[in-house]
Structure 1
Amino acid sequence: MPASSPHPASAAPPILAIGASAGGLAAYRGFLEALPAEVEFAAVLVQHLDPDHHSLLAELLAPHTSLVVHTAADGMRVEAGHLYIIPPGAALAVRGGMLSLSAPAERHGARLPFDFLLRSLAQGPAPERAMAVVLSGSGEDGKEGALALRTRGGFVLAQDPAEADFDGMPRAVIAAGAVDAVLPVAAMAEALLRRLREAPQPAEDDLTPIVALLRERTGQDFTPYKPGTLMRRVERRMALVGCATRAAYTARLREDPAEQTQLVKDLLIHVTSFFRDPEVFEVLAARAIPDLVAAHAPARPLRVWVVACSTGEEAWSLAMLFQEAIAADGRGIQLQIFASDKDADAVAQARQALYPASIAGEVSAERLKAFFVPEENGFCITTALRSQVVFSVQDAITDPPFSRIDFVSCRNLLIYLRPESQARVIGLFRFALRPGGLLLLGAAETIAEAAGFEVAAAGERLWRRTGPAPLPPPGLLARAADGVRPAPRPAAAHREAGWPSCAGASSCSTTPPPASSWMWRGAASMRWARSSGT
Structure 2
Amino acid sequence: MKDSDGVQFLQWALPKLHLQWPGFRKVRRQVYKRIDRRVKELGLSGVGQYRSYLDAHPEEWAALDALCWISITRFYRDKGVFQCLEGEVLERLARAAVTGGEQELRCWSIGCAAGEEPYTLAILWRLSLAPRFSALGFKILATDVDPRAIERARNGCYPGNSLKDLPAEWRAQALSPTTDGFCVKPEYREPVTFLVQDIRERAPDGPFHLILCRNVAFTYFDEALQRETLQKITERLVPGGALVIDSLESLPEGAAGFEPWAQHSGIYRKSVSLEPGQFI
Alignment TM-score, normalising by the size of structure 2: 0.80
Separation in 1 of the partners of 2:274 and 2:3? 52
**Alpha-carbon shift at residue 287 of structure 1 (Å):** 1.8
Q: Summarize deviations over 1:136-159 as a string: whole Å, max 9, x none.
A: xxxxxxxxxxxxxxxxxxxxxxxx
Q: 2:221 maps to which residue?
A: 417
One-letter amino acid of the counterpart of residue 246, structure 1: G
Taking a change above 3 Å as real, the CA distance of residues 384 and 205 of structure 1, as seen in their structure-2 partners, is: closer
Gaps of 5+ in 1: 1-193, 212-222, 474-534
* Residue 451 of structure 1, aligned match among 236, 256, 261: 256
Separation in 1 of the partners of 2:274 and 2:197? 24
Q: Summarize deviations over 1:394-440 as a string: whole Å, max 9, x none.
A: 11122033312000011011111110111111111111011100000
1:428 equivalenced with 2:232 (yes/no): yes
1:283 equivalenced with 2:84 (yes/no): yes
**Alpha-carbon shift at residue 376 of structure 1 (Å):** 2.5
Separation in 1 of the partners of 2:212 and 2:237? 11
Q: 1:251 maps to which residue?
A: 53
Structure-to-structure mapping, 1:317-466, within 5 angstroms: 317-413=120-216, 414-447=218-251, 448=253, 450-466=255-271
**Alpha-carbon shift at residue 270 of structure 1 (Å):** 0.3
Separation in 2 of the partners of 1:349 and 1:386? 13
Separation in 1 of the partners of 2:11 and 2:4? 18
1:411 partner SS: coil
Separation in 1 of the partners of 2:254 and 2:222? 18
**Alpha-carbon shift at residue 358 of structure 1 (Å):** 3.3
Higher relative contact order (CA 8 A, sep 6+): 2
Separation in 2 of the partners of 1:391 and 1:337? 9
2:261 partner SS: strand
Gaps of 5+ in 2: none
Taking a change above 3 Å as real, the CA distance of residues 197 and 426 of structure 1, as seen in their structure-2 partners, is: closer
Separation in 2 of the partners of 1:201 and 1:330? 53
Separation in 1 of the partners of 2:193 and 2:33? 34
* Residue 67 of structure 2, aligned match among 266, 272, 276: 266
Separation in 1 of the partners of 2:6 and 2:139? 50
Separation in 2 of the partners of 1:330 and 1:270? 33
Q: Summarize deviations over 1:117-136 as a string: whole Å, max 9, x none.
A: xxxxxxxxxxxxxxxxxxxx
Taking a change above 3 Å as real, the CA distance of residues 248 and 361 of structure 1, as seen in their structure-2 partners, is: closer
Structure-to-structure mapping, 1:305-320, within 5 angstroms: 305-320=108-123
Taking a change above 3 Å as real, the CA distance of residues 205 and 466 of structure 1, as seen in their structure-2 partners, is: closer
Q: Summarize deviations over 1:366-392 as a string: whole Å, max 9, x none.
A: 112221122232211111111100000
Separation in 2 of the partners of 1:200 and 1:460? 30
Taking a change above 3 Å as real, the CA distance of residues 267 and 251 of structure 1, as seen in their structure-2 partners, is: same
Separation in 2 of the partners of 1:303 and 1:339? 11
**Alpha-carbon shift at residue 280 of structure 1 (Å):** 1.9
One-letter amino acid of the counterpart of residue 284, structure 1: L
Q: Retained in 2: the 8 A contact 1:238–1:249?
A: no
Separation in 1 of the partners of 2:161 and 2:261? 33
**Alpha-carbon shift at residue 239 of structure 1 (Å):** 5.3
Taking a change above 3 Å as real, the CA distance of residues 374 and 235 of structure 1, as seen in their structure-2 partners, is: closer
Separation in 2 of the partners of 1:282 and 1:409? 15
Identity of aligned residues (%): 25
Separation in 1 of the partners of 2:277 and 2:7? 42
One-letter amino acid of the counterpart of residue 84, structure 2: V
1:374 partner SS: strand
Aligned length in residues: 265
Q: Retained in 2: the 8 A contact 1:340–1:394?
A: yes
Taking a change above 3 Å as real, the CA distance of residues 274 and 259 of structure 1, as seen in their structure-2 partners, is: same
Q: Retained in 1: the 8 A contact 2:108–2:208?
A: yes
Taking a change above 3 Å as real, the CA distance of residues 197 and 250 of structure 1, as seen in their structure-2 partners, is: closer
Say which is worse superposed, 430-439 or 394-403, in terms of deviation.
394-403
Q: 1:226 maps to which residue?
A: 20
1:463 partner SS: strand
Separation in 2 of the partners of 1:265 and 1:403? 26
Q: Retained in 1: the 8 A contact 2:6–2:32?
A: no
Taking a change above 3 Å as real, the CA distance of residues 327 and 459 of structure 1, as seen in their structure-2 partners, is: closer
One-letter amino acid of the counterpart of residue 266, structure 2: R
Taking a change above 3 Å as real, the CA distance of residues 250 and 260 of structure 1, as seen in their structure-2 partners, is: farther
Q: Retained in 1: the 8 A contact 2:94–2:133?
A: no
2:227 partner SS: helix
Q: Retained in 1: the 8 A contact 2:257–2:274?
A: no
Separation in 2 of the partners of 1:454 and 1:271? 28
One-letter amino acid of the counterpart of residue 287, structure 1: E
